[in-house]
Structures are given as structure tokens and as C-alpha cells.
């Protein structure tokens, strides 16, 4: 059996701690922990049965794999400090876990011959326990030096994860999509619950009522994809119901009304994509959300489906490799040659 690499954690928060614990369980050798907060470093070092060091360069210098799991604003300065103090060397892999930043932020260690990679787990980390539970099976976005990618892919497989590879310039769009799927989903459910609270339900009652619907919708998306799972008044072309919604929402906070309006306009595009609405029907519904009286007027907010724009949908899916008996495909992301994201 091949020996797993040694690793160091720089930044003992939820992500760094979860990665450290899981990697140790998979046979990787922890050699050092550094964190700005000494108590956090000691807590993780105790779990990993390794030592606490008092400088990030000391932690990096001891390991083959170095995980910088600090806040985003500290990654660049940490990399610069490691490079300046001689904590990196040729053949070593320095990894950061930011979703928004590309591996370019690690330029100082590259200049010293180390390889730089960003490895972002596409997962929400509410606590250390949930992070350890949710990381296996999650998808990881990889970006960085090609010489290091095989080793990093092996690491992701050891974590029982999936992965796709993206370009550095696409990191902001990648992260924006993740924010919509996770953070804005929280806001969306909060919005729905807040409307029910206007009816006299408390938050717990609202969530008890809504959660089966939310779970059922997620199940439908898993089976049919997001466009195929769409139901409701937009998908039915039910303008009368939508007008009633817009009228009723006038008594609520303007943010609630504007959120409903914006989501409705976007949902018209989804319904046109899946064939539920014709372009004229989509324009008419869009005008309800825009509060335009002429219902036959075309709206810029009516997104035409691919077959009506002359564009061809491109799948970005090539293959997905999973470890320990998982069967799937590994996604290799690419941009559409004609611009925009693959659908």
C-alpha cells in the first residue's frame, strides 16, 4: 500500500479541522497545525495527535501537502509569509480552500517552486460536526497547477468526493452559483416563512408546514432536473393567480415584493426553457411581474429557450470518478465557445 503524504493545516476553523480529521482517518499523516487562535490550534492538534507550531512557515515546512484554510483575506498574506520565511520548496503542494479566489493568490509560493492549487468543497459548513458529515460525497472544484492535479484528485477520491476542474478566470462565476444554491436558498426559505408569519404562524410552525414541500421539490429536482421539476402558476401560465400574488404582496416589505418579482421573471425563463410557455405567453407573464398593462408587449426579461436563439446547449459533463465503490461521472467544466456558461 502506497504511503499517503504528510500534511499541515494552517487555519484551524471548521473547514481546516474537518479536512484534517478526515484526512487522518484516510491514512494521511498530520505533522503540524498553526492557527491565529492558539486554543483552536491546540484543539485540532489534539484531535490529530500532532504538534502546534507558532508560525505558518514552520507548519508548511514540515509537510508535503499544506492546507491554507484561513479566511479569504488572509490567504495571500499567509502565502507570502510562508514563501518569505522559507516554508515552501519545489514539489510541495500548497492548497487553499477558498471558493471565490483562484490559485493565483498563492503566487509567492509558486515563485519558490511549490505547486499551487485551489480546492473548494462545494458544501456548507455550519459546524465542525456537519462539515465532517457532509464532506464525503461532496463535489470539489479544483483549479491550479496541472502537475499537482493528479495528487489532488487522489486526495478528493480518498475523501470519497467528486470533482470538476475549472479555469482561474471562472472562479467568481463558480462561486456566485454556489452562493445562489446555498446562501440564497436559506434566504429564499426565510422569505417564504416570513410570508407565512404574516398569517399568524410563528417561525417553527411555518417551517413545519413548508419543509415537506421543500423536501419534495428537492427530490423532484434530483429526479427531473431544475427545469423539469418546475410546477406552479408560472409553469401553468396562470396570470390571474400571479396578479393576485403581486396585489397581496403590496402590503409587505418592499424587499419581499421585489424578491418575488425578480424570481418570477427568472422563473418565466425556466418555464420557456422546459416548453411550458410559448414566447408570447412568457412575455405576458413577464409583464405581470413588471406591472406592464399591455400584455402582448415583448419583454427583455423573457428568456428564449436554446432552440429559439440558435444556440445549442452544451453539456460540461465528461466523467465523475468516485472512490470506494461509488459509480458516477467526473465533471470537467468548460465555458461555452460562444460565451456564457454551459447548460
| Grid cell at residue 38 | 492558539
Mean pLDDT rounded to a whole number for the chain: 87
Give per-residue pLDDT as tens, 284-306.
999 999 987 543 344 333 333 33
Tell me, what's the pLDDT at 315?
A: 34
Question: Strand 139-144 relative to strand 115-122: parallel, antiparallel, unpaired?
Answer: antiparallel
Question: Using 50, 70 and 90 to split pLDDT, how confident is the model at 1?
Answer: low
Residue partners of 254: CB distance under 8 A and separation at least 6: none
pTM of the model: 0.81
Whether residue 320 is predicted with pLDDT greater than 70 in this model: the reply is no
Percent pLDDT > 90 in the chain is: 80
The residue behind cell 484531535 is 47
Homologous superfamily in CATH for domain 6-171:
NAD(P)-binding Rossmann-like Domain (3.40.50.720)
Residue partners of 132: CB distance under 8 A and separation at least 6: 18, 21, 22
Residue partners of 310: CB distance under 8 A and separation at least 6: none
Which has the higher per-residue pLDDT, 1 or 284?
284
| Grid cell at residue 152 | 489532488
Domain map (residue ranges) of the chain: 6-171, 181-309
Tell me, what's the pLDDT at 125?
A: 85
Tell me, what's the pLDDT at 292?
A: 72
Average pLDDT over residues 40-62: 97
Is there a contact between 105 and 94 (Cβ–Cβ < 8 Å)? Answer: no
**Which of 73-87, 100-114, 242-256, 315-329 bottoms out in mean pLDDT, i.e. has the lowest?**
315-329
Tell me, what's the pLDDT at 2?
A: 77
Amino acid at each position: 500500500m502506497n504511503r499517503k503524504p504528510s500534511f499541515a493545516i494552517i487555519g484551524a476553523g471548521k473547514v481546516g479541522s474537518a479536512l484534517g480529521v478526515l484526512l487522518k482517518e484516510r491514512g494521511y499523516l498530520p505533522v503540524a497545525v498553526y492557527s491565529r487562535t492558539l486554543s483552536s490550534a491546540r484543539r485540532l492538534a489534539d484531535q490529530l495527535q500532532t504538534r502546534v507550531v507558532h508560525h505558518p512557515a514552520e507548519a508548511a515546512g514540515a509537510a508535503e501537502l499544506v492546507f491554507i484554510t484561513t479566511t479569504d483575506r488572509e490567504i495571500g498574506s499567509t502565502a507570502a509569509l510562508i514563501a518569505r520565511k522559507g516554508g515552501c520548496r519545489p514539489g510541495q503542494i500548497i492548497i487553499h480552500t477558498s471558493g471565490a479566489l483562484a490559485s493565483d493568490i498563492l503566487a509567492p509560493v509558486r515563485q519558490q517552486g511549490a505547486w499551487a492549487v485551489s480546492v473548494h468543497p462545494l458544501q456548507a459548513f455550519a459546524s465542525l460536526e456537519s462539515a465532517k458529515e457532509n464532506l464525503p460525497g461532496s463535489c470539489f472544484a479544483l483549479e491550479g497547477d496541472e502537475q499537482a492535479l493528479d495528487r489532488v484528485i487522489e486526495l478528493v477520491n480518498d475523501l470519497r468526493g467528486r470533482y470538476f476542474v475549472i479555469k482561474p478566470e471562472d472562479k467568481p462565476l463558480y462561486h456566485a452559483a454556489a452562493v445562489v444554491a446555498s446562501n440564497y436558498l436559506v434566504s429564499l426559505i426565510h422569505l417564504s416563512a416570513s410570508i407565512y408569519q404574516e398569517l399568524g404562524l410563528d417561525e417553527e410552525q411555518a417551517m413545519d408546514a413548508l419543509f415537506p414541500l421543500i423536501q419534495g421539490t428537492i427530490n423532484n429536482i434530483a429526479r427531473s432536473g431544475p427545469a423539469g421539476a418546475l410546477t406552479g402558476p408560472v409553469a401553468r401560465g396562470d396570470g390571474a393567480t400571479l396578479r393576485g400574488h403581486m396585489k397581496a404582496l403590496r402590503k409587505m416589505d418592499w424587499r419581499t415584493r421585489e424578491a418575488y418579482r425578480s424570481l418570477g421573471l427568472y422563473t418565466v425563463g425556466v418555464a420557456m426553457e422546459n416548453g411550458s410557455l410559448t414566447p408570447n405567453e412568457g412575455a405576458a407573464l413577464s409583464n405581470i411581474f413588471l406591472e406592464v398593462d399591455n400584455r402582448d408587449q415583448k419583454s427583455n426579461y423573457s428568456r428564449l429557450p436554446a432552440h429559439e436563439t440558435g444556440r445549442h446547449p452544451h453539456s460540461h459533463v465528461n466523467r465523475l470518478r468516485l472512490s470506494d465503490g461509488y459509480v458516477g461521472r467526473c465533471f470537467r467544466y468548460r465555458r461555452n465557445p460562444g460565451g456564457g456558461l454551459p447548460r
